Structure 1
């Protein structure tokens, strides 16, 4: 049994951020009903081009990633009949999850007080761009603006001398991270309600998640009065540690060493690269000497590591005691045996999707495909007790799809 089985979530949200929270809750066993506009659905369904990649036909990963395992209801909340259906669903729900801006929530009558008037103990969860307080609380935004640019990731990832900014590494990058934060907050609110009977209003913003993701660097910057600056393109990495940086291999791939105690691992690295004599080289005898001779050590390691392919080094480094990793792209992760062993990629219908990162009892969550638009409308209405005559009336009125 998954930990949230029996929990009902009503999701009134679009695009990537808040729906990804619903996807995590569905992975954890919740019954998530995704409310989509009766005519247009979630605009994310129309997204085909993301960066250099374009998807034709279905299934579309641009909708599947953040919506797997849910049920879809096509509903026009602006119509009285549609609003009545929504409130019936609220009465059955444990969580109301929304990405709508404050003005839209007030206009549609789905703000905290409106929903609590129908279900006083419901968890009300909001995902926003810039947070629920302050002069910009009413403004919207996307992960590119609020998480990446404003939260300081963009400036910190962009090396000096590079015009503009480095873009996020993937579509919905900040959305997915923020959605996981929101799902965790909802789970904590459910526990609090279980213990105390008190419901919570849960807020997570893209901006707050962006600041949290950069929290270590922000703390350093505020302490020292200096921004965190990315190394120049092509730079090794640490200026005082040859075992913390990036090295090219013979086949044009790269590997990264991150051994923060170089004196501890230096001899082992030397033996694994086939140059045990370097372990006794007086230039590298202590941490202080290694730091002083980092440039020389980097030059040596670059020359040696460039003589073999990444696959060859992977085999040799299987017994290396210090942390290292191959630098992989989003296609290469599919061939990673460790990722497969832990089921971090799982089948969901016709696709493979990244599993949400939390596992319970060393078990990966089963993933279901995302619903087609409004695919469960009739099923959900029947669960509310509506007969076919009433369902047909709602369809004729344009209240449901």
Structure 2
């Protein structure tokens, strides 16, 4: 059963939401966590109520993105409604709005409030490209952002056109980034007594949250940055995480370490030519990948996917079936976890939708009530059950200063979550040991510091601590007693087996907040499955949709590490909600996230539609579903492309003018989206004839000037020269010890913000700060520290150089 509002961590937070499409998931997530989110709609209702897909005239997008919100209808042209909005703004803690003309008119009415020196309202504007920079006037869309953020260039198969990922991942990711920013802003206001403004763009958030050019990469990357992993053109099919056709579909495996390979080798039998122990090394196997994969294909071809998954689990081999949307909706594991729930979208019309991102204190942060009818609420917030007294810390403080985090996280999602907190001023202590090193530490040449590790662990400190020795465990418990947050992303049950389950830690420190992240969640029949991102995408249905429609084996997610960076932000928002709640209650709590369910939430509208119209959700490739022409179009040069995304009749007419094709503009078959969709092949041929002789930049600029969403496909190594990102202060430099040159890195989570920029410092070497941390936090003497080191309970950096404060 869903939690009641009185149990939810943000139950005292008031949010005013003007989002009419873009950014709607931000308010939805805050509402899931208990905030009172009031959606302000114009007479006739929000435009989001007509956002496709529609069933019986009802928007699946609005049904999923406005759940748990309240609705008030206000007319900007009516004085009494402007006064009502002003009153709502004076009562609100947060205001979220798009940079649309309608929303900006409302913002103008509250300038006397927001410009007052003691205003406590935290505002966030979300738009395609932000309020400043050379592209601020651009029109964006999911295909445009995918192209311009360097995602599309890395998606698809070698020798083919680039492939757009499914869904609306850029907009959904930006909304979660927005939720992180506004809760940081609210936390800052709680400590300073002053609010302020934030400006976030989908473009910048896409660059940070999907597959960051300047972010941490997966362990299989050997420490290389994203720029070194992105060849011109697409990667070879399934080179690192291969697919295999089976009797009833496809499965995917991730055989990386020696133990996994030995199990796979045993499954293949005793007579194959790769039984030599030398093949336990991944580099050796890569040289014979084609032959090895051929043997695996022969073994799997006649077996059903579920049987292969069961046998793989028994043998300890990471494996997952490539699930279809219908299989996802009927999945026993997801059903057992309550990850899918019935949603009433209209009287007598009920579908199945993802119920919420995660669990807090064992309770799903789920849909408690469906999307509201227009204006069913009154223009006032409910009476507060609690309110914190204002503080007056200095306005320049880093938001999370004073918060201590014990970071047990590994690889991408673990590294990213801790980094988000370190960037905002928390003391983040990465706990690690050479006996079980973080896979992110591995490098191709054995170097102790890599670009990927530095990107994901900047600003942290490293403590070498043996969590398997009794004294090491006690030292960890002593640290828990003096800390605020514990983060981990081990296989479910690992923390409990070490004696570090939430109940254990809560008994030591009732204020502690424990966050755990795993592939499929901590409960359910598949919870103990080994979790790698490629397998999570396969089992959640994302991979099955991320393929070329004309090739049933043409899966295109070979280089992505989605959803790791998104999942980290989902967890970060939940942790912030518990920190806010702790200010009232004095008690901490637990966060449990399934990465698969985070993916489902980004596809919530599409899955709801599929539940009502089975067979609707299929791979679409690059062609838009709701208007035409909408696709990736070839441009002059080698593998050069531009996204063009016509979304309405006005943009279609503008495109006809650019193409100098009055015949198309006057063709009555093309007056509607449905008519254009019916002739997509023909229209795309006409547009391609115009784009193929022009550079992507020329196509982008010409069409944007005409008011048509378009964006040139960028590559990772081109993003650092992007003029808009530079103008928005997106880039910073990290003077990282152990690397040959200063490292270009990303700045904070918002292009413009009243919050201070991160204080960028380097990532630590393994166990670099052990002595300092033991002295400063636990007050140990040098002799005590030496004794723990001698006993193997503590580790220090191999060079014996320890950092100071």
TM-score in terms of structure 1 length: 0.88
Question: Given the alignment, which residue of 769, 780, 783 partners 1:376?
Answer: 769
Q: Which residue of 2 aligns with 1:352?
A: 744
Give secondary structure in 1 for the equivalent of 2:789: helix
Question: Given the alignment, which residue of 642, 657, 661 partners 1:255?
Answer: 642
Q: In 2 relative to 1, CA 254–167 (structure 1 residues): closer, same or farther, beyond 3 Å?
A: closer
Rounded Cα–Cα distance in structure 1 between residues aligned with 2:562 and 2:794: 32
Give secondary structure in 2 for the equivalent of 1:257: strand
Matches within 5 A, 1:2-401: 2-48=398-444, 57=447, 59-146=449-536, 148-164=537-553, 166-168=555-557, 170=559, 172-226=561-615, 228-231=617-620, 237-238=623-624, 241-252=627-638, 253-261=640-648, 263-273=649-659, 275=660, 277=662, 280-283=665-668, 286-287=671-672, 289-349=675-735, 350-355=742-747, 357-358=749-750, 360-361=753-754, 364-383=757-776, 384-401=778-795
Q: In 2 relative to 1, CA 294–129 (structure 1 residues): closer, same or farther, beyond 3 Å?
A: closer
Rounded Cα–Cα distance in structure 2 between residues aligned with 1:197 and 1:362: 26
8 A contact 2:628–2:647 mirrored in 1: no
8 A contact 1:310–1:326 mirrored in 2: yes
Rounded Cα–Cα distance in structure 2 between residues aligned with 1:102 and 1:291: 47
8 A contact 1:69–1:368 mirrored in 2: yes
RMSD: 2.5
Q: In 2 relative to 1, CA 301–101 (structure 1 residues): closer, same or farther, beyond 3 Å?
A: closer
Q: In 2 relative to 1, CA 19–214 (structure 1 residues): closer, same or farther, beyond 3 Å?
A: same
* Per-residue CA distance 1:217-267 (angstroms, 9 max, x = gap): 2122112112622235xxx61377333211111124111112321x11123
8 A contact 2:405–2:429 mirrored in 1: yes
Give secondary structure in 1 for the equivalent of 2:481: helix
8 A contact 1:377–1:400 mirrored in 2: yes
Deviation at 1:306, TM superposition (A): 1.2
* Per-residue CA distance 1:310-364 (angstroms, 9 max, x = gap): 2322443452312211122222222222222233443233322345645642765
Rounded Cα–Cα distance in structure 2 between residues aligned with 1:171 and 1:192: 35
* Per-residue CA distance 1:82-128 (angstroms, 9 max, x = gap): 12221121111111111233433223211112111211111111111
* Per-residue CA distance 1:278-315 (angstroms, 9 max, x = gap): 57433576225544544333222111111211232244
8 A contact 2:404–2:426 mirrored in 1: yes
Rounded Cα–Cα distance in structure 2 between residues aligned with 1:113 and 1:241: 53
Rounded Cα–Cα distance in structure 2 between residues aligned with 1:374 and 1:183: 25
Rounded Cα–Cα distance in structure 1 between residues aligned with 2:610 and 2:755: 38
Q: Which shifted more, 237-246 or 120-129?
A: 237-246
Rounded Cα–Cα distance in structure 2 between residues aligned with 1:283 and 1:299: 19
Rounded Cα–Cα distance in structure 2 between residues aligned with 1:282 and 1:83: 75
Rounded Cα–Cα distance in structure 2 between residues aligned with 1:398 and 1:96: 23
Q: In 2 relative to 1, CA 321–160 (structure 1 residues): closer, same or farther, beyond 3 Å?
A: closer
8 A contact 1:99–1:127 mirrored in 2: yes
Rounded Cα–Cα distance in structure 2 between residues aligned with 1:219 and 1:38: 46
Q: Which shifted more, 341-350 or 66-75?
A: 341-350
Structure 2, gaps ≥5 residues long: 1-396, 736-741, 796-805
Structure 1, gaps ≥5 residues long: 49-54
8 A contact 1:283–1:290 mirrored in 2: no
Give secondary structure in 2 for the equivalent of 1:16: helix
8 A contact 2:628–2:645 mirrored in 1: no
8 A contact 1:17–1:172 mirrored in 2: no
8 A contact 1:159–1:229 mirrored in 2: no
Rounded Cα–Cα distance in structure 1 between residues aligned with 2:760 and 2:610: 41
Q: In 2 relative to 1, CA 37–318 (structure 1 residues): closer, same or farther, beyond 3 Å?
A: same
Deviation at 1:161, TM superposition (A): 4.6
8 A contact 1:155–1:165 mirrored in 2: no
Aligned length: 389
